A and B are shown apart, each in its own frame.
Chain A
């Protein structure tokens, strides 16, 4: 009898887990996705399935332009961050252990801070009276404050690069940390000089971490709307802002949901690709 009850327990706990998962994640997500297949008449939603939203997005030039402009911007941020992040992670990795831990914590602390505060901080740095201009003026590189750092797509690129840098550095640093010291010594022992050790051993062993970091950066940058909203100006009107405007301004939830679905498909494709690149054959 006890054995029978014990046997029943597992499905019961399973049901609970699926219940929580379904109630708090799957059902809200599904209901949100479902909106993408409805449409609005006079600002009220008509609950009848249609593909009209998707057709509109694919045929409307301004949506398409924004979509590709944003993906391109996210890709640029990812590539810039791959170089910046790799250099930073490599620099940290070469420090003595106590220094390393300090630097990693220093790098992770901003992740705990409010996202909006960080963007405002960047606005302060990039503005006409900001840190960047003060430095350029002090160095005599410019004679008058430059206003081109703010309220355009470049400002979005810079801001996202800075804000998302920890997401790039940490996975690269972790994969560098995982390289056994003896493997580096073996390369040296077999006659490799420093550059060969780097290109043939360190880089291939840590690049999967870079792919994971690039995935994080791309997905977060392509969907972001706060940074473009606060530092992007008119030029920095991105896909994230487009989605936001459908919900907050145009009250066209179905179109907003359809736009989100498209972005989600791209994000999932990128995550799938990063899973392959970030987990090469030799690791499996």
Chain B
């Protein structure tokens, strides 16, 4: 590796539950990654702008409000529009199983539901980076 993996952890929408996002941000940092956390209430546009500006390898979206089917694909689409196709997008939160396939088709590579160990996520990121 030339440089540490850079990750943007983002909270799209109006949801204020950031326990998961913060725990994951810290676990990724402890695993040697460089982590930027956006804070609450980010629009998809703001998230994409931050991802581009920070030149991240991974965007992690966390949402517990049920608006994932609207907001997650929006982030993926905007990244594509910006011509960014080598960023790994992952998501997590209270997301029913039946929504996962649709989110994957929309460009979210993996969805981590409650109870996922952070170690599993770290491994996933290391094995699935789109930039090598």
Q: Do A and B come from one complex?
A: no
